[in-house]
Amino acid sequence: MPACSDYSANHTANSDSTVKNSIFNAPANPVPDSINQFAWKPVTQDSTKKYIYLTFDDGPQNGTVAVFDLCKQLGVKATFFMVGLHSEKKSDGKQIVSRIRNAYPQILLANHSYSHAYDKYYYFYQHPEDTQGDFYHNQELLHVPYKIIRLPGNSAWAGANSIKCSHLVRPVTELLDSAGYNIIGWDVEWSFNHKTVNPVQSPDKMVAMVDSALARNELHTRNNVVILSHDRMFRNQNYLDSLSKFISLLKRNSNYIFETVDHYPGLKKPQ
């Protein structure tokens, strides 16, 4: 399983109570199921097709609106895993979140935590009940329609009948799973340079990686490939053009179908 580009082994646990209070300030109360109703309809997959899940993490940030508009323009489905803290830091953050939420079923809003752990990943996952509360807070703050999560800095999976995750995140994964949440990892990552925040791979390289993952079945679920990228990678027009080329190249393959992650196989269904 590839390592998320947001993750760094240099992040160490900090036991200071002031840090704990600054990261985890939300009550650990489950989000009411009433906001989990969003006109969801099941999708029956065609066994002769391959399913592509474009996912964009960490918004709303610079680049989120451009990526959203591009997906709308190209008519492809995509999922945005969004961070509540980022929505509060941007003057138009709540408006961006609303645009994405209201674009369903083409675009799906999903939960990427409230704090993104303030990038203190070890500490975040060593306090699973507080971490669970962080996700609950984000679910309520952003009015995320479904109980679908991606963990910051870690590729973990939890669905209706299985859990796959590292030892570090297993406690919080089990807590969220028992609360009815689905957790989505990724199969292929479009990496970025941490100094420039620019994409590393070319569009052609990315297509080759997707093709290879599907051909070799290097996937969490056969014939379904989840692609991780980050909104801010595409904040400049030349890199937005790279994303456009990548999507256009994938669209040329008639066997590829774009879908949002609420229709990923094996998830708990919305109640």
Closest CA to 187 of 239, 222, 225, 217: 225
- What's the pLDDT at 4? 46
Mean of pLDDT over the chain = 89
Lowest mean pLDDT among 39-43, 134-138, 178-182, 251-255: 39-43
Of residues 69, 38, 6, 7, the one with CA closest to residue 244:
69
pLDDT digits (tens, 9 = 90+) for 50-82: 999 999 999 999 999 999 999 999 999 999 999
Please indicate whether residue 97 or residue 269 has the higher confidence score (pLDDT): 97
The pTM of the full predicted model, rounded to 2 decimals, is: 0.89
215/247 Cα distance (integer angstroms):
19
Contacts with 240 (C-beta within 8 Å, 6 or more apart), sequence order = 63, 66, 67, 70, 234
Both structure tokens of 203 = 């569009």
Nearest to 116 by CA among 170, 153, 161: 153
Q: What pLDDT shows up at residue 11?
A: 37
pLDDT value at position 36?
46
Q: Length of the chain in residues, anyone?
A: 271
Q: What is the pLDDT of residues 145-194, one digit of tens each?
A: 999 999 999 999 999 999 999 999 999 999 999 999 999 999 999 999 99
Question: For residue 23, what are the contacts with CB-CB under 8 A and spacing of at least 6?
Answer: 115, 117, 118, 120, 123, 124, 130, 134
Answer positive or negative: Cα dihedral of 18, 60, 182, 209: negative
Cα three-residue angle 62-141-266, rounded to 5 degrees? 90
CA distance 147 to 179: 9
Report the half-sphere exposure of 209 (CA within 13 A, side-chain side): 19
pLDDT tens digits for 3-58? 443 433 333 333 344 445 545 555 545 554 444 446 788 899 999 999 999 999 99
Residue among 163, 158, 216 nearest 188 (CA): 216
pLDDT value at position 10?
A: 34
- Whether 2 has a pLDDT exceeding 60, the answer reads no
